[in-house]
């Protein structure tokens, strides 16, 4: 089993359906995709005792390709039935051996 296959297999157990929205004009791009919460809550101390609150999610590139959603980006919104709507502030690619993108770590704020 490849790393990418293992990654997708593990995400399948931890993920739940969320709505991913890209605000566009005239209509938004809206899809339902499975994402896994990662480090559910995060409180990061930034500069001068400022605390940034947010959540993290992990999504498979294959899951996004299946619903024809491009790479997530800042400003996209995740609506989670349990935790409400979150705006994406950061997206980091997760690479397989050889550098191919297999998923994304998404941070919201």
Q: Which domain holds residue 62?
A: 3-108
- Tens of pLDDT along the chain (109 residues)? 688 899 889 888 889 999 999 998 788 999 999 999 886 555 555 566 665 567 889 999 999 999 999 999 999 999 988 888 999 999 999 999 889 999 999 999 8
Please list the residues that pair with 94 across neighbouring strands: 103
pTM of the model: 0.84
Phi, psi of 104 (to 5 degrees): -135, 140
Write the burial class of residue 37 (CB in 10 Å: 0-12 exposed, 13-18 middle, 19+ buried): middle
- Please state the domain count of the chain: 1
């Amino acid at each position: 089993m490849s790393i990418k296959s293992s990654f997708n297999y593990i995400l399948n157990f931890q993920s739940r359906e969320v709505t991913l929205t890209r605000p566009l004009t005239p209509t938004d791009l809206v899809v339902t995709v499975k994402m896994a919460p990662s480090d559910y809550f995060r409180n990061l101390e930034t500069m001068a005792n400022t605390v940034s609150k947010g959540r993290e999610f992990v999504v498979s590139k294959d899951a996004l390709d299946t619903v024809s959603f491009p790479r997530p980006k800042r400003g996209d919104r995740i609506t989670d039935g349990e935790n409400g709507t979150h705006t994406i502030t950061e997206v980091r690619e997760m690479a397989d051996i050889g550098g191919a993108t297999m998923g994304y770590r998404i941070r919201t704020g």
